[in-house]
Amino acid sequence: MNEHDARDALLVRAYETALPRTVGWSIDDSAWATRAAAEVEGEHASVAAFVARRARLAAERLGAVDAGVRRALRALDWRPWIAWVLLLFAFALGAAGDAVGARHRINVLAPPLLALIAWNLAVYVAIGVRALASLVWRQPARHGPIARLVARLAHAAHAAQAQPAAATDASPLARFALDWTRASAKLAATRVARVLHTAAIAFALGALCGMYVRGLGLEYRAGWESTFLGAPAVQALLALVLGPASALTGIALPDAARLEAMRFTASPGEPAAGWIHLYAVTVGLVVLLPRLALAVVDRMREYRLATRFPLPLDDAYFTSLVRAHRGEAATVVTVAHAQALAPQAALGLRAMLVTVLGEKTTLNVAPSIGYGDEETAARVLAQAVPGTSPVTLVVALFASTATPEAQAQGVFVDALATALPASARLLSLVDESAFVTRFGSTDPAALRRRHERRAAWGSFLAGHGQHPLILDLAHGDPTEAVRALRDALDRMASGVPAQTTT
């Protein structure tokens, strides 16, 4: 899947997971996109090929009926012309600056080119430190203000630009802009880094070209002056800085006696041509070659990311698409602890699962596990697993009125986690139906106690490595329940521990 296919897939996902459904994209449109993609790709197509084809077809239809979609896609496109403008500006800026020095004199200890060399060395150190920090802390490296500015100009990842004026933060286009910004962050950072490396090359080339062009019509003299250094110290310093260039060009560095004769306080210096060549070669070694290597590496990385975009296809939305394409049904097994699943709660749970996992979702309710019988949970789960189809999800169901205990609910959830069928995931769901029925949902004291219960259950289940989902199955808002379930499943698929969801 390439960059554009991934972008279209996230756009369509934003529309199809919007609750309630957005005007301009209906359930019939979703069914059409699935059928059309299946006809084009065939039933044996890979997951990536099917999702990509379906996304292209759906994005075309969305763009045909909604101008805001077309504006969003254009706003989030990479703008290559920004890179060329930046290169030309950097070259012109380097050429316009006097890289030699004022009064046609070069102080070999502090020429302006030395600042260019020092700046690039500092950049290399910063790149290394950021890379090391990202490895140690396992977090993406943060970029500086220049990189962020270039990203905003050339890769407009702003929801304000991607959505029409009337869109809100809850609109599909706003969510799409946010999703794409996150998903393409690595690709955008690689592109920006490549542009900055090439701009540094352009600036250095401009400085060198300007220096040599001005040298054709002006005579520059080289010398030095220092308050603290003598000729022997200057000789050692120049050998360190210009030694590699001297070895490559064959231009010998002066000895201490010659350096003493070049001192500006005692003489007007010597012809600067050799010194200009030495510093030009040094710039090539320190700036041009390393920056070129970094730019090539980033270009290869950019090409790989753009042509094989790392879009995870194992979240709830994409897996439901694949199941629908293959005609498979999602199978969910629910095992409750110390409670029976009430009929109204069962209806709410099934409706939520069908919306997220697909219309063919089947829900198997296993016998509840009594208090003190938690070690039998694995056996009860095995008996409830159907032999005809693989299990997609196992739901460990708790009542928020209970107090979580390690020797009870902890043993129960650990037993289920150990006995999970292959490819199945475990979702820990805390049902607040009984609590709301007993204490209501508007009394301030009940709300405070409900919040305390949520915090206790969330901390307890997170401590057992689970993804806690806490909601009211019987009386809660179905739209919010679907959002919470989808978020929990997506976090489980990505391997990120889910936060307490209400």
Amino acid identity at 208: L
Residue-wise pLDDT tens digits, 54-87: 999 999 999 998 888 988 888 888 888 888 999 9
Q: Is the pLDDT of residue 6 over 80?
A: yes
The pLDDT value given to residue 467: 78
Q: Which of 418, 348, 358 is nearest to 392 (CA)?
A: 358
Q: Is the pLDDT of residue 496 over 80?
A: no
* 426 C-beta neighbours (distance < 10 Å), count: 20
The pLDDT value given to residue 245: 95
Residue-wise pLDDT tens digits, 341-393: 888 889 999 999 988 888 888 899 999 999 989 989 989 988 888 776 788 89
Dihedral angle sign, alpha carbons of residues 382, 387, 390, 395: negative
Distances (CA, A) of 15 to 66, 175, 325, 435, 493: 12, 9, 19, 34, 21
The pLDDT value given to residue 238: 92
In this structure, are residues 481 and 348 in contact, taking their beta carbons and an 8 Å threshold?
yes
Q: What percent of the chain has pLDDT over 70?
A: 89
Give the pair of three-digit tokens for residue 176. 């799409």
Rounded Cα–Cα distance for residues 287 and 459 (Å): 52
The pLDDT value given to residue 115: 86
- Mapping DSSP onto H, E and C, the string for 234-301 reads HHHHHHHHHHHHHHHHCCCCCCHHHHHHCECCCCCCEECHHHHHHHHHHHHHHHHHHHHHHHHHHHHH
Average pLDDT, rounded, for the chain:
85
Write phi, then psi, for 106 (nearest 5 degrees): -115, 120
Write phi, then psi, for 252 (nearest 5 degrees): -75, 140
Residue-wise pLDDT tens digits, 310-346: 998 878 888 888 887 777 788 899 999 988 888 888 9
In this structure, are residues 139 and 186 in contact, taking their beta carbons and an 8 Å threshold?
no
Per this entry, what is the length of the chain? 502
The pLDDT value given to residue 153: 58
Rounded Cα–Cα distance for residues 319 and 59 (Å): 19
Architecture of domain 316-494: 3-Layer(aba) Sandwich (3.40)
Give the pair of three-digit tokens for residue 193. 């880094």
Least confident of 108-112, 118-122, 277-281, 413-417: 108-112
Q: Is the pLDDT of residue 282 over 90?
A: yes
Give the pair of three-digit tokens for residue 141. 């490296």
Per-domain residue ranges of the chain: 3-65, 80-307, 316-494
Distances (CA, A) of 335 to 180, 416, 437: 37, 9, 22
Which distant-in-sequence residues (6+ apart) come within 8 Å of 241 by Cβ?
Answer: 114, 117, 282
The pLDDT value given to residue 198: 96
Residue-wise pLDDT tens digits, 161-177: 444 433 445 688 888 98
Q: Is the pLDDT of residue 139 over 80?
A: no
The pLDDT value given to residue 167: 43
In this structure, are residues 53 and 37 in contact, taking their beta carbons and an 8 Å threshold?
yes
Residue-wise pLDDT tens digits, 419-443: 988 878 899 999 999 898 888 878 8
Residue-wise pLDDT tens digits, 208-240: 998 898 888 888 888 988 888 899 999 999 999
The 3-state DSSP class for residue 410 equals helix
In this structure, are residues 447 and 441 in contact, taking their beta carbons and an 8 Å threshold?
yes
In this structure, are residues 429 and 396 in contact, taking their beta carbons and an 8 Å threshold?
yes
Distances (CA, A) of 154 to 73, 84, 144, 301, 307: 14, 11, 16, 18, 19
What is the helix (H) or strand (E) element at residue 105, kind and residue range?
strand 105-107
Tokens 């208090």 correspond to 371
Which distant-in-sequence residues (6+ apart) come within 8 Å of 414 by Cβ?
Answer: 464
Tokens 């794409």 correspond to 180
Write phi, then psi, for 493 (nearest 5 degrees): -65, -35
Q: Does 20 sit behind a cis peptide bond, omega within 30 degrees of 0 on the bond before it?
A: yes
In this structure, are residues 93 and 203 in contact, taking their beta carbons and an 8 Å threshold?
yes
Residue-wise pLDDT tens digits, 456-473: 999 999 999 887 899 999
Question: What is the mean pLDDT of the segment spanning 487-498?
Answer: 72
Rounded Cα–Cα distance for residues 81 and 83 (Å): 5
The pLDDT value given to residue 162: 42
Tokens 């220049």 correspond to 146
Q: Is the pLDDT of residue 158 over 60?
A: no
Rounded Cα–Cα distance for residues 409 and 428 (Å): 11
The pLDDT value given to residue 60: 93
Query: For the whole model, what pTM was predicted?
Result: 0.76
The pLDDT value given to residue 147: 62
Rounded Cα–Cα distance for residues 460 and 407 (Å): 12
Question: What is the mean pLDDT of the segment spanning 175-186?
Answer: 88
Give the pair of three-digit tokens for residue 256. 């201490």
